[in-house]
Chains A and B, each alone.
Chain A
Amino acid sequence: MSYDLGKITETLIQGKVDRLTELTQEAIDSNAEPAKILNEGLLPGMDNVGEKWKNGEMFMPEVLRCAKAMSKSMDILRPRLTEGELGSAGTLVIGTVAGDLHDIGKDLVGMMFEGAGYKVINIGIDQPNENFVNAAIEHKPDVLGMSALLTTTMPRMGEVVNSLKEAGIRDQITVMVGGAPVTEEYAQEIGADLYGANASTAVDVTREYFAKAKN
Chain B
Amino acid sequence: MSKSQKTIIACGGMKAEFERLNPADNGIEMHYMPQNLHRVPDTLRKKLQETIDRVAEDTETIILGYGLCCNGVVGLKAPEQGLIVPKVHDCIALYMGSTEKYRNMFSQNPGTYHLTRNWMDNKKDPLGLVEHEYKRRLGAEDARETMEWEIKNYSHISYINTGTGRTEQYRNRALENARQFNKQFMEISGDDAFFRKIVHGPWDKKNFVHIKPHEISKQEYFLK
**B24 within 8 Å of A (CB atoms):** no
* Contact indicator A125/B153 (Cβ below 8 Å): yes
**A155 within 8 Å of B (CB atoms):** yes
**A68 within 8 Å of B (CB atoms):** yes
A68 to B150 alpha-carbon distance, docked (Å):
10
**Tally of A-B Cβ pairs under 8 angstroms:** 62
In this complex, the interface size class of chain B, counting residues with CB under 8 Å from chain A, is 20 to 34
CB 8 Å contact bits of A81-124 with B (1 = contact, 0 = none): 00000000000000000011111100000000000000000000
Min distance, Cβ A134 to any Cβ of chain B, angstroms = 21
In the complex, chain B residues whose CB is within 8 Å of the CB of A151: 68, 70-71, 89-90, 219, 222-223
* Contact indicator A180/B149 (Cβ below 8 Å): no
* Contact indicator A100/B110 (Cβ below 8 Å): yes
A151 to B38 alpha-carbon distance, docked (Å):
13
A185 to B40 alpha-carbon distance, docked (Å):
20
Partner of B150, one of A15, A64, A100, A125: A64
**B4 within 8 Å of A (CB atoms):** no
* Contact indicator B219/A103 (Cβ below 8 Å): no
* Contact indicator A61/B146 (Cβ below 8 Å): yes
A103 to B149 alpha-carbon distance, docked (Å):
11
A60 to B149 alpha-carbon distance, docked (Å):
12
* Contact indicator A101/B134 (Cβ below 8 Å): no
**A152 within 8 Å of B (CB atoms):** yes
Q: Is the interface of B mostly helix, strand, loop or mixed?
A: helix
A59 to B142 alpha-carbon distance, docked (Å):
15
* Contact indicator B219/A62 (Cβ below 8 Å): no
Partner of B110, one of A65, A68, A101, A155: A101
Residues 122-180 of A contacting B (Cβ, < 8 Å)? 125-126, 150-152, 154-155, 180
Min distance, Cβ B170 to any Cβ of chain A, angstroms = 24
Residues 66-120 of B contacting A (Cβ, < 8 Å)? 68, 70-71, 74, 89-90, 103, 106-107, 110-111
* Contact indicator A64/B107 (Cβ below 8 Å): no
* Contact indicator A99/B137 (Cβ below 8 Å): no
Partner of A183, one of B71, B133, B137: B71
* Contact indicator A68/B146 (Cβ below 8 Å): yes
**A208 within 8 Å of B (CB atoms):** no
Which residue of A has the minimal Cβ distance to B138? A61
In the complex, chain A residues whose CB is within 8 Å of the CB of B133: 61
In the complex, chain B residues whose CB is within 8 Å of the CB of A103: 153
* Contact indicator A102/B219 (Cβ below 8 Å): no
Say yes or no: A189-B220 contact (C-beta < 8 A), given A64-B146, A181-B70: yes
- Can you name 12 A-B pairs with beta carbons within 8 Å? A60-B39, A61-B134, A61-B143, A65-B146, A101-B110, A101-B111, A101-B154, A103-B153, A126-B110, A151-B222, A151-B223, A180-B70
Q: A61-B133, A103-B153 are in contact. List 7 more A-B contacts (CB 8 A).
A: A15-B138, A64-B146, A65-B146, A150-B89, A152-B89, A155-B223, A189-B220
Q: Which 6 A-B pairs have the closest CB atoms?
A: A101-B153, A61-B134, A99-B110, A151-B89, A61-B137, A64-B146
